[in-house]
Structure 1
């Protein structure tokens, strides 16, 4: 269904006239042009992004990308469809909305330092995405998004950069299809790229304003619970459009020579070449589509395509997945997560659920299966897991990392008790395993980190081992009671303590990026006063050598200063927050009006909830949704105040959500007051998404705050009856939890002024715009002081420059009206 495009203005709903400090809130719905915040705030908003760096496989070159700043509202208003849980531009066959990010500058630089050189021959209006080094490090390919005004546009083109000369040019004349994700992958020989291209096709399905009949859905006695997903297919016309625009054809695009179109066509989700380059593992979505779940749960056929002939061999045809229970430990029955084993020529690997995909407390939960070429038979078990195996493992690791014939690493996890394990196993000897780590996924201090990988000669990522093969290199955040102190370490394959080789030390925050050799690592160094740059550091110690020379994005701006606070909740749980104060502020000037920002998090143990997150040594990068902007206009800011919601043993965190929420917020404000910085009579609270939900609840259940700002939240949990956030109980299993946690239930208690902001095209599960509409109506009916602002075209995260300017203007005006005046 095509998205309705609204005019470029912020829609504002407000209540009866309330004269305060010289301005009035309008009596009824109004429309206003986009406004700009004070100059001090806009300076931070308009600061350039920090460049991105990727290292060549041979560890000798860096590709430096300059991300674009915020798009204009005109850019965001380009055509887009909202179908099957995704948003895309049908004209360009490209992602739309928050997924439409790109780079506007590309440079190359040696890892030994020296001046970065600009890539030549680039398009005049560069919009580069999906940049990838070739396995042999000689080339970089990227996808260029071309506007309708450009020759050959609109669409996605494939471009290549010669790393030696630094020159770029377009390869192939095909248009790529990026509707379902990244459209290309390198072939192992580095001579060609396997791509999804827009096929020769007829006219797009015609949309009629005259209905052919009613749109009907039915369920014949089958339990099909589902979260409240956004942008689902609703009509047969929707289904036809999704199929038309998502259909692509596989093609091999060489760096030189003609494009080879393969006879593989359909809704191709992924296509991955085998390490030997003879095959491609292809996932194809097909009908019958679902109307209550996103396309990832649609029927999916997995095929192995012989690239020389284009012939396809069916591996598995998964049916529609629309009946999973509301449990993070439940998965679809049967095979899932097909992949190539990255350390051998052509072996298909997948995970297969035991117990029909239902959660298990004992025994086998998942099995890893393997099937080598020519892919005959059912495969053999090479590992059995007692917990779930997933692609997003503990510490950021993928579910399975491959090393060699006798070493692979698997990460397992169980959500119900937050248990996780990291196990080394021998793919050639079933049952030969060694547990390297077991503990809680919420225990930051004991987190060993994630295994470091490197690209092998075939373009596959494999474990980086020590020279003698007895250890695996790891990188970790290095969380500690003093904050995160990232490190590079070695985990013995045979088990035992992790050996730390090099660790970040004050005053820096040194984040490991990639190993340059067995004795050197590339780090991203920053400090509270020093913007990020890249350095080469010896693993044996010594001074790090600076590689890049990126300027500070905030050069010439008087920045606020920050301090990491540590304090306790009244029940003894340790909490933290970051306190920001205006540049030049001294306590002798007296306490300040204050803005507190937070996002509640659930924990199964008090010890995990008490651990310190973050680092005082990070450079202040002020993102679009940050509260720190307001330190530039005279406010103290309590950023990311800890609001842990704990449920130990058999109890669930949300059983006492409101009580813990209130205690956490009060502890943050009280500690700020004790420092002499926070004025207890002039404090506001804000949050985004689940933080907005928190904000509304705090105004309903406390009198701590003088105002609240809630952005893109959910306020009535009966509208998300099949779970929300980390709550797995349904409304019918515990209606009291849903009622008690909903600020909508207590709209009559909210007397504190509240500003509601919402993206008119919110795409997040559970935060439909109707949440703010209904909450506003409830508050208005009870005589509250409330303002509702809808930002046209914006999703859950706002992206347009004009939208962000206006959001900050609204917030600044709200705070100056209801918080800053001294009572």
Structure 2
């Protein structure tokens, strides 16, 4: 039987609550049994619903460099009603069938657009439809127009705004099909938009037969096939037909001035489109049949082709086989071609290929067309192998064999190539054994190369950065050059070995191409974090930066690098100041085995030194050893602003808790890290509680532990293998590793080769040892690999059967992490109730007024 729209499967909109608590607790804590959505105390709700969406980050600068584009929202969170709209989940592809669009477009909250002056911060609103959500806003290459998706109740259209008069109008006559392909593209002249529409002669949607006429058939491969445990796969022939119907669309070119459109080719299952700058050819990636019952849609086979405007397929660029595990992509037919992209000058394609690959024969510019292949003088000397040459190739329309020209070649392995706007300067990236070499080649003298930098990838603290790029005149990304074409710019971040004393400092360097001389023209200050979000001129004398610190809400500033003048462009507000400016301390702890890791404690702003009830929030991470852990800490930024979001556990400081955000290293002195999983859980818990209690932050007799996803897995294990915790909060977790028998996280072994490890780590096998009250919540539509909702259902069933204290909240329409307003408010209500009852008050009576309603 096919999967019906999720709203039919979950037609009951009330929150389903299953709970097992001794009868005496029922009387004391009745709100836990309520099945309606609840609202937490105001002190918590105001943090969850804080209007952070009013804050602005300036990064989407228009081609004219006069304005930034900013999206606006009409609310902080999407309502549950948006998530509840009927949708299909076919092979992991979620879409609203009535509206012909990806589900994300229905649940987003962007409702408007505005322009913000790049030099004065002044704002002006763009006219958009009142009854539509907005997404995918895109500048035309010349910066005179904006296009965007307008998502109405049952269809999506493209609107274009003329920035000269501010008027917006719909340019699509038929609805957009945004299920598989979710974007549109401009031509370089700004006259046309390419997109995929609902086919004009679309047949009726397939109907599932009342009596099955087919069944799903699977067969094992003749080799080991270690696939992930994907949550939603096609269930049979009918779902395959349904998928094909809903992702088959018509490629069109739309004239934005008169709304006339030209259909290009026949309807197809188009995954992506990439028109050339001149708008005369399109790279089309199509999904192809047959489909699979063992992998999701994103692993299905695809073919990448070049089409002309009549829909004729001129050449096949690649043919990716279905990735069902053992076959993988190593057998894909890409003909040795790589780094395929349109040239920024509009003159065909750029690609990389080795000698004898790409599309033989490849014509060199200086080939002697009359050379005799049988000339003995051209034969290699005996025992001498022909060198493989890496080639940069220009491929001109109509993309036949004779249309390929080699414009540069080298014996070294080329990773990628970038261009100047006129395509006369190449910037070649070579990489070998983690050593990176970037150099420039002027095509009027290709025998000479000019090193921009060489970098040993193992030398983390001397990273020179990356070549800065910008949109070229034809809309294709190009390397940013100085006006005299003599210099390039590198942007990166300087990191320091003593990261606790020295915060990362973003920088921009100007490099003379021919001499290699380098000059630092910008670097972040030491006491704040300043990140460049836009460059306003070709000389890079005016830039826009985002500036923040632990006490400074991120804001955008205009900075003149020549004069040092600066002006503030945004006036963002710290809507969660009661939490962001709470007391914090970060310190290092040492386990019994000598392994050291970091802990950060957040305390209420008015904390008076009295030990508080607390919660450890964590996410286990595997490390080979101490060096491996230390290397991953190198990007720590002490100047980060402590942003607060809808599920930030730090919000609990407003309820009088100490919140302990602790790294949670999983390691073993010998063997793989998971050989020491349980030992690490116990030792981490011990040292964190001992250290925070010794510092006077927590009352060790009133502690909880919590985490999401793998953190939920860690929470259950901590409550089973220690007796430190009065309660736990576990979200969207896995509690039975035998249901992920072919590996998980960084675990390399399967169940049968690592049986003892799987058993030791599986909470449900040791559920009888659980100490404390465990609250589990789970999204009923969880799509994460390895955390199906059945994990929470089976764990609750086990805990209920053996008389443990536990609760489970299953949230309709939510995926791997609650996202709707109603769900998040309810979640916080139940978190607060659980924590106040079992931790703060050690299971004693708490009034309903104190718990929140």
Q: TM-score range by the shorter chain?
A: 0.7 to 0.9
Q: Does 1:728 align with 2:752?
A: no
Shift of 1:761: 0.5
Q: 1:172 to 1:528 in 2, by over 3 A?
A: same
Q: Does 1:681 align with 2:684?
A: no
Instruction: Tell me which residue corresponds to 2:454.
Output: 436
TM-score normalised by length of structure 2? 0.83
CA distance in 1, matches of 2:267, 2:391: 29
Alignment deviations for residues 332-357 of structure 1 (CA, whole Å, 9 cap, x no partner)? 644387641454532153789x9xxx
The aligned runs of 1:596-611 (5 Å cut-off) are 596-604=616-624, 606-610=626-630, 611=633
Q: Is the 8 A contact 2:500 2:638 kept in 1?
A: no
Instruction: Tell me which residue corresponds to 1:531.
Output: 553
Question: What is the DSSP-based 3-state SS (H/G/I as helix, E as strand, rest coil) of the residue aligned with 1:123?
Answer: coil
Shift of 1:716: 1.7
Q: 1:573 to 1:366 in 2, by over 3 A?
A: farther
Instruction: Tell me which residue corresponds to 1:159.
Output: 159
CA distance in 1, matches of 2:769, 2:517: 54
Instruction: Tell me which residue corresponds to 2:366.
Output: none
Shift of 1:540: 5.2
CA distance in 2, matches of 1:59, 1:703: 60
The one of 629, 644, 651 equivalent to 2:651 is 629
Instruction: Tell me which residue corresponds to 1:10.
Output: 15
RMSD of equivalent CA atoms: 3.6
Alignment deviations for residues 403-445 of structure 1 (CA, whole Å, 9 cap, x no partner)? 55554465979xxxxx8554425687799788733335xx975
The aligned runs of 1:297-312 (5 Å cut-off) are 297-307=299-309, 311-312=313-314
Alignment deviations for residues 20-49 of structure 1 (CA, whole Å, 9 cap, x no partner)? 59625799xx77011111111110111122
Instruction: Tell me which residue corresponds to 2:96.
Output: 89
Instruction: Tell me which residue corresponds to 2:364.
Output: none
Q: 1:376 to 1:718 in 2, by over 3 A?
A: farther
Shift of 1:448: 5.2
CA distance in 2, matches of 1:214, 1:456: 53
Instruction: Tell me which residue corresponds to 1:249.
Output: 250
Q: Is the 8 A contact 1:450 1:476 kept in 2?
A: no
Q: 1:484 to 1:21 in 2, by over 3 A?
A: farther
Alignment deviations for residues 545-564 of structure 1 (CA, whole Å, 9 cap, x no partner)? 21123444348x67651425
Shift of 1:9: 1.6
Shift of 1:742: 2.3
Name the stretch that deviates more: 332-341 or 378-387.
Answer: 378-387
TM-score normalised by length of structure 1? 0.86
Q: 1:512 to 1:604 in 2, by over 3 A?
A: farther
Q: 1:294 to 1:700 in 2, by over 3 A?
A: same
Q: Does 1:272 align with 2:274?
A: yes
Instruction: Tell me which residue corresponds to 2:341.
Output: 340
Question: What is the DSSP-based 3-state SS (H/G/I as helix, E as strand, rest coil) of the residue aligned with 2:94?
Answer: strand
Question: What is the DSSP-based 3-state SS (H/G/I as helix, E as strand, rest coil) of the residue aligned with 1:195?
Answer: strand
CA distance in 1, matches of 2:30, 2:251: 57
CA distance in 1, matches of 2:236, 2:172: 37
The one of 580, 585, 591 equivalent to 2:602 is 580
Shift of 1:595: 1.6
The one of 798, 819, 823 equivalent to 1:778 is 798
The aligned runs of 1:122-133 (5 Å cut-off) are 122-133=128-139
Q: 1:305 to 1:723 in 2, by over 3 A?
A: same
Shift of 1:483: 6.6
The one of 794, 810, 818 equivalent to 2:814 is 794
Name the stretch that deviates more: 101-110 or 196-205.
Answer: 101-110
Q: Is the 8 A contact 2:614 2:702 kept in 1?
A: yes
Instruction: Tell me which residue corresponds to 2:372.
Output: none
Question: What is the DSSP-based 3-state SS (H/G/I as helix, E as strand, rest coil) of the residue aligned with 1:709?
Answer: strand
Instruction: Tell me which residue corresponds to 1:263.
Output: 265
Name the stretch that deviates more: 576-585 or 610-619.
Answer: 610-619
Alignment deviations for residues 39-90 of structure 1 (CA, whole Å, 9 cap, x no partner)? 1111011112233541112322111112452121111110100012221101
The aligned runs of 1:589-668 (5 Å cut-off) are 590-604=610-624, 606-610=626-630, 611=633, 613-639=635-661, 641-646=662-667, 651-668=671-688
Flag structure 2 segments of 5+ consecutive residues without an equivalent: 357-386, 844-853
Shift of 1:159: 0.9
Q: 1:319 to 1:91 in 2, by over 3 A?
A: same
CA distance in 1, matches of 2:413, 2:756: 34
Alignment deviations for residues 572-608 of structure 1 (CA, whole Å, 9 cap, x no partner)? 5443333222232232xx0111122122233445235
The aligned runs of 1:162-561 (5 Å cut-off) are 162-200=162-200, 201-219=202-220, 221-257=222-258, 258-307=260-309, 311-324=313-326, 333-335=332-334, 339-345=340-346, 346-349=348-351, 370=393, 372-374=395-397, 375-377=399-401, 402=419, 405-408=424-427, 410=429, 422-424=436-438, 436-439=454-457, 450-466=466-482, 469-476=486-493, 478=495, 480-482=499-501, 484-490=503-509, 500-505=520-525, 507-517=527-537, 518-539=540-561, 542-554=564-576, 561=582
Q: Does 1:32 align with 2:35?
A: yes
CA distance in 2, matches of 1:693, 1:144: 41
Q: Is the 8 A contact 2:509 2:522 kept in 1?
A: no
CA distance in 2, matches of 1:325, 1:311: 27
CA distance in 1, matches of 2:606, 2:547: 26
Shift of 1:457: 1.0
Q: Does 1:73 align with 2:80?
A: yes
Name the stretch that deviates more: 314-323 or 759-768.
Answer: 314-323
Shift of 1:214: 3.4
Instruction: Tell me which residue corresponds to 1:566.
Output: 587
Shift of 1:285: 0.3
Question: What is the DSSP-based 3-state SS (H/G/I as helix, E as strand, rest coil) of the residue aligned with 1:250?
Answer: strand
Shift of 1:651: 4.5
CA distance in 2, matches of 1:581, 1:810: 21
Shift of 1:195: 0.6
The aligned runs of 1:55-74 (5 Å cut-off) are 55-67=61-73, 68-74=75-81
Q: Is the 8 A contact 2:779 2:811 kept in 1?
A: yes
CA distance in 2, matches of 1:651, 1:748: 29
Alignment deviations for residues 745-771 of structure 1 (CA, whole Å, 9 cap, x no partner)? 322221221111100000111111111
Question: What is the DSSP-based 3-state SS (H/G/I as helix, E as strand, rest coil) of the residue aligned with 2:840?
Answer: coil
Shift of 1:723: 2.2
CA distance in 1, matches of 2:650, 2:658: 9
Name the stretch that deviates more: 51-60 or 82-91.
Answer: 51-60
Q: 1:554 to 1:91 in 2, by over 3 A?
A: same
Name the stretch that deviates more: 623-632 or 562-571.
Answer: 562-571
Alignment deviations for residues 332-390 of structure 1 (CA, whole Å, 9 cap, x no partner)? 644387641454532153789x9xxxxxxxxx999887561233349789689989x7x
Question: What is the DSSP-based 3-state SS (H/G/I as helix, E as strand, rest coil) of the residue aligned with 1:323?
Answer: coil
Return the index of the structure with the highest Cα Rg: 2
CA distance in 2, matches of 1:430, 1:798: 58
The one of 89, 98, 113 equivalent to 1:106 is 113
Q: Is the 8 A contact 2:465 2:490 kept in 1?
A: no
Flag structure 1 segments of 5+ consecutive residues without an equivalent: 148-153, 355-363, 390-398, 414-418
CA distance in 2, matches of 1:601, 1:385: 38
Instruction: Tell me which residue corresponds to 1:821.
Output: 841
Shift of 1:7: 1.5
Shift of 1:266: 0.7
Name the stretch that deviates more: 617-626 or 403-412.
Answer: 403-412
Question: What is the DSSP-based 3-state SS (H/G/I as helix, E as strand, rest coil) of the residue aligned with 1:55?
Answer: coil
CA distance in 1, matches of 2:175, 2:805: 52
Name the stretch that deviates more: 500-509 or 225-234.
Answer: 500-509
Name the stretch that deviates more: 222-231 or 705-714.
Answer: 222-231
